[in-house]
Amino acid sequence: MGMWSIGVGALGAAALALLLANTDVFLSKSQKATLEYLEDIDLKTLEKEPRTFKAKELWEKNGAVIMAVRRPGCFLCREEAADLSSLKPKLDELGVPLYAVVKEQIRTEVQDFQPYFKGEIFLDEKKKFYGPQRRKMMFMGFVRLGVWYNFFRARNGGFSGNLEGEGFILGGVFVVGSGKQGILLEHREKEFGDKVNPVSVLEAARKIQPQTLAAEAK
């Protein structure tokens, strides 16, 4: 009976741990970014002679949709990039650019990511777009049912990837209005493969007022 009780207790503890791992109890809490925080982020172009500039240049005139990529080689990130890129024709009609930021540049990882993403990509070396409070998902992600569902969804969609680079710091998607219009949508990835809803992105993008129109309205 003693060994039986220990075995049952161990199974119960494992079941409880699995249950808790699939709730939001142990997930890193996100902190909303302010426009001022985003504006002051330093980004670099990916040219041979990179140019450093403030992130506000991306949205100052026409607003922007910006993806903070968790890892360019991740097949889940490539899936989300493709989803956002499917909005490109409608974003172009609205005059709203599509951008991405990455936190590192390893070998050809960014280049290999570009077929999935139809916008310009910049380097955020200080990982500011992944803050203000940087969040990580470690190995707990691999026991979450939602993550496994996301894995199968992306695989069934024909996406593949690799294990190059840092992939534990979670990413997100922002829709930022022109000038001082503010952040119109902020999606923080809560687990691997937690994609933004493209419909929500488009709805937020439609609220953007280009600077010329905003000036005329005044």
Q: What is the pLDDT, as a whole number, of residue 146?
A: 82
Q: What is the pLDDT, as a whole number, of residue 180?
A: 95
User: What are the distances in angstroms from CA 51 to CA 45, 55, 122?
Assistant: 5, 12, 10
In terms of pLDDT, which residue wins out, 40 or 11? 40
- Residue 86 half-sphere exposure, CB side, CA atoms within 13 Å? 9
> Which CATH number goes with the domain that contains 76?
3.40.30.10
Domain presence at residue 4: no
* Helix, strand, or coil (residue 188): strand
> Residue 201 in contact with residue 84, Cβ under 8 Å?
yes
In terms of pLDDT, which residue wins out, 41 or 30? 41
Domain presence at residue 63: yes
Domain presence at residue 62: yes
Domain presence at residue 183: yes
The range of the structural domain enclosing residue 211 comes to 28-217
Domain presence at residue 9: no
Read off φ and ψ for residue 62, nearest 5 degrees: -125, 10
Q: Which of 114-123, 145-154, 156-165, 175-184 has the lowest mean pLDDT?
A: 145-154
- The amino acid that residue 50 corresponds to is P
Kindly list the catalytic residues: 74, 77
The total number of structural domains that make up the chain: 1
Domain presence at residue 1: no
Confidence of residue 48 (pLDDT cuts 50, 70, 90): confident
Nearest CA among 68, 102, 96 for reference residue 188:
68
Structural tokens at position 191: 């687990």
Domain presence at residue 5: no
> Residue 54 in contact with residue 38, Cβ under 8 Å?
no
Domain presence at residue 101: yes
Q: pLDDT tens across 50-81, in order?
A: 999 999 999 999 999 999 999 999 999 999 99
Using CA atoms, how far apart are residues 35 and 96, in angstroms rounded to an integer?
18
- The amino acid that residue 140 corresponds to is M
